[in-house]
Amino acid sequence: MKKVINFAFSILAVLLTCLYPCAFLYLQNVDEAGPVGMVVPFVIYTMVAFVIFCVMIMVYWKMDKAAIATCVFMILFMNFVLMQNLINLVLPFVTYLHFTIVLLIAWIAFLVFVKKKDIDTEIWCKIICAIFGLLIVVNFLGAIPKFTAKKEIKDVKVEEYAKDKTFAGNVYYIILDEYAGDENLEYFYNYDNSDIKNYLEDKGFSWSGSTRNLESISTFEIIPNILNLDYVTEIDGIPNTNLQYTKDPVLYRFFEDMGYQINLVNHENFLVSDNYKVLTHSRFSFAETGSTSLSKSIINQGYVSILYNTVGKMFNNQNTEDSAKDLEDAMNYTRDSYRYTDGKPTLTVCYLQCPHMAFVFDENGNYNDSKNLENWADDKYYLGQLKYTNTFIKETVDNIIENDPNSIIVFQADHGARYSYYNMNRYKKSEYDAKKETRMMQNVINAVYIGGDTKIDIEGKSCINTWRTILNTVYKTDYEMLDAPDDYVYKWRYINTQR
């Protein structure tokens, strides 16, 4: 009977050790993510623990000692990235490889200690069961109110409707994900983007080189805010919840009130497209469910993310042509978006994940090699796709103005090139000014055309305030200019991402 109890506590200790980090994050986000979000990480961790446990059985020939050794290994394995981040606050030069070696040596030393010392590992298994079991129960009890109170999307009302409906031209809103503003390009790339600026200004556009969206550097948080003309999303919230604010946003309702139809070019199926005419659908989806996001959050804390970045990407069969196909379709529909108004006043919203990676195009529109689709280390890949995007902008403007000159055309982005975000390994803590570089990453393209005759002052205005200015100018609304709710700073830690 004692052996059965010992066996049960040994197995339970390992399972609870694997379960706790998954259950903790799930119960913290139970109002935004389903339990399926913790299943995949738990299965992965349990499989790893099973392999380690079997090896430890052969080392100790004793169930409880094997369980203790496995539990310690899994704690280190599941929390590797979290621990390395803490170490990097003090020792920014420590890479994942250095830290792997240190933890491996420490674990082996622990194995030797357990083997040589006469310690009561049966008691330790019971203690582990008690600690992790109690923590899971406490977190479950704390999450009970969230189980019954489903996460609600705030009701965002239209503050102002058009007071002057004289202008009934078509409106083309083109969102270019990660298209950097003038200051961003100069700071990170020493690149002068005046060619596209001069071209657009010659066509009658107003231009801002210092526009920033200060609330975040995340697409999931910024675009819903712009479409609602206000700060409605939760910063660092579950992406899928924030995206629900694109379902029936204020901007759409403003124009629907004037009898406009809404067309969408929805690259990567990013925008919630219910009830609207979608000109093109993507095969892939940039958006994630709450459960998928939760799974990634759990996995990204541990060594599984390191293995993916080292081993997994060697077997990545991502094809440039496949990646480019959806983007090319979205670009083609955007260029020709004037064709799909059906004779009705139309607001066309085009979201394109470009010049955002994947970097499928060089500056001439030729395909890059698939191994460089996410290459931020070489400046030519982002800049090449940016230059090709400039060619696309010119073609789109020429098409629309030639065929629909009495229209409004707006080019904006959510955030600029997140150069530092993707190249953390190049920075040491003492050399990195988080506030300064966050502001640079928030600098975006912002250009507005109103029938060719009206210029407006948008210099330095956020994308939200630019839209409020457009509506005030054209439709005589009384929208006030908004300050960003917080001075957001992206607080990363030094991590060697070139794994």
Query: What is the rounded CA–CA span in Å between residue 395 and residue 388?
Result: 11
Give me the sign of the Cα torsion angle 57, 59, 65, 71: negative
Q: Please give the Cα distance from 470 to 479 (Å, whole number).
A: 10
Q: What is the pLDDT of residue 265?
A: 95
Q: Is 36 helix (H, G, I), strand (E, B) or coil?
A: helix
DSSP for 131-185, written as a single string: HHHHHHHHHHHHHHHHHHSPPPPP----S---S-------EEEEEETT-B-HHHH
Write out the H or E segment, with its range, that includes residue 277.
strand 277-281
Q: What is the pTM of this model?
A: 0.80
Give the pLDDT score at 307: 75
Q: Looking up tokens 């606050």, which residue turns up? A: 89
Name all domains of the chain by residue range, CATH numbers in brackets: 2-148 (no CATH), 171-475 (3.40.720.10)
Closest CA to 250 of 76, 482, 71, 491: 482
- Across the 499 residues of the chain, what is the mean pLDDT of every consecutive 10-residue run? 77 91 83 77 91 90 87 90 78 79 89 80 87 90 74 81 92 98 96 97 96 95 96 83 90 96 92 87 62 75 74 56 85 95 93 93 92 89 97 97 96 95 65 84 97 89 98 96 88 50
How many Cβ atoms from other residues are within 10 Å of residue 147's Cβ?
A: 11
Among residues 423, 428, 414, 403, the alpha carbon closest in space to that of 494 is found at 428
pLDDT (0 to 100) of residue 498: 40
For 114-120, which contacts have Cβ atoms below 8 Å and span 24 or more sequence positions? 114/60, 114/65, 114/68, 114/69, 115/59, 115/60, 115/65
CA distance 402 to 425: 47
d(Cα 490, Cα 433) in Å, to the nearest integer? 10
**What are the C-alpha distances in Å from 302 to residues 30, 80, 84, 94, 295?**
21, 5, 10, 17, 12
Tokens representing residue 251 in the block: 């901007």
Q: What is the biggest distance separating any 2 CA atoms in the chain, rounded to whole angstroms?
A: 90
347 CB-near residues (< 8 Å, 6+ apart): 170, 171, 173, 251, 252, 255, 260, 261, 262, 263
Give the dihedral sign, CA 417/423/429/431: negative
Single-letter code of the amino acid located at 87: I
Angle between helices 36-60 and 63-78 (to 10 degrees): 140
| Cα three-residue angle 481-484-485, rounded to 5 degrees | 120
The C-alpha atoms of residue 183 and residue 210 are separated, in whole angstroms, by 7
DSSP string, 424-472: GGG--GGG--HHHHHHHHTBB-EEEEETTTB----TT--HHHHHHHHHH
Q: Contact, 136 vs 91, CB < 8 A?
A: no
